[in-house]
Amino acid sequence: MKKILILITAVLFLPRCQDDCRDINLCTETCDRDSLIVINANSPDLRKYVIRRDSFSWHGHSNAIKSVPDQGEIEWVGNNSISRLPSGEYYLQIANYVDTSWVDLEYWANLRERVSVKFNPYNLGVQKILNENAYVNNHIKNYAIYIRSIDDYTDASWDIDLSENSYVHVTKVDQKSKIAEGEFDLHFKIREQSKLPGVLYSDKLRFRCGRFKARIFE
């Protein structure tokens, strides 16, 4: 009888667990970088870029698993910083580059990928991230965009996919040093496809198991 009650309880509890998991992205999911698989080695979405190391570098860096449907996953890195705009809004900017053998050029030199996230780095906890249109309609909302670049030329862009749950989780902030740390999970869908001949990016992609540590510039 006891086993039957346990089984019934488990069956009743499972749908609720799945709903909660789906709502706030708490599903058990491996973040093991050693188990990543690339299905399409020629995918332009899965090309690896590097971080910049010179006097113009932003403080700290972010890392994540970049996941592309039917193509595979790679470990992804980028320089990062958090900037406060005159409007009072804070943006986490993550960028990486095709080449870093040079030093002290413009910030956009050899730029290839950029993720920009509006959120509040001083609010500990999970903050839901929406698309840019949600922000346009209500500036209180947080949002994110992902851009592929060739230096200062925008090659393609993605908005947050509202059918999925995207968030930033601020885990630590040091008021004195102005350093914020946290995690992120961002689902994107294509907004503007590349116009370059022979280049076709994936309609959807995701940055999962993301972590950042960045200086806040007021």
pLDDT tens for each residue of 167-209 = 999 999 999 999 999 999 999 999 999 988 888 999 999 999 9
Per-residue confidence (pLDDT) for residue 106, from 0 to 100: 62
Q: Is 65 exposed, middle or buried (0-12, 13-18, 19+ CB in 10 A)?
A: buried
pLDDT value at residue 83: 94
- Would the pLDDT of 155 be above 90? no
Q: Name 203's Cβ contacts closer than 8 Å, sequence gap at least 6.
A: 189, 190
* Residue 46 CA neighbour count, 13 Å, CB half: 16
CA distances from 173 to 82, 125, 213 (A): 12, 11, 9
pLDDT at residue 29, rounded to an integer: 80
Percent of the chain scored above 70 by pLDDT? 78
Please state, as a whole number, how many other Cβ atoms lie within 10 Å of the Cβ of residue 38. Answer: 14
What DSSP designation does 129 have?
-
Mean pLDDT of 122-137: 98
What is the residue extent of each domain of the chain? 1-28, 31-217
Cβ atoms of 96 and 61 within 8 Å: the answer is no
Residue 215 has which token pair?
A: 């200086």
pLDDT of residue 166 exceeding 80, the answer is: yes
14-23, 119-128, 201-210: least confidently modelled range? 14-23
Phi first, then psi: give them for residue 214, nearest 5 degrees.
Answer: -140, 150
pLDDT at 162 (0 to 100): 98
Quote the CA–CA distance of 4 and 9 in Å, as a whole number.
9
Q: Give the DSSP H/E element, type plus range, for residue 24.
A: helix 2-24
Distance between CA atoms of residues 73 and 40, nearest Å: 10
Which among 61, 71, 42 has a CA at the least distance from the CA of 115? 61
What is the residue-averaged pLDDT of the chain? 85
Distance in angstroms between the alpha carbons of the first and the last residue of the chain: 63
Would you state the pLDDT for residue 17?
Answer: 40
Res. 11: pLDDT tops 50: no
pLDDT tops 60 at residue 55: no
Element (H, E) at 15: helix 2-24
What's the distance, CA 44 to chain centroid? 18
Q: What is the mean pLDDT of residues 76-80?
A: 93
Answer yes or no: is pLDDT of 1 > 80: no
| Residue 12 reports pLDDT greater than 50 | no
Asked whether the predicted pLDDT for residue 70 surpasses 60, the reply is: yes
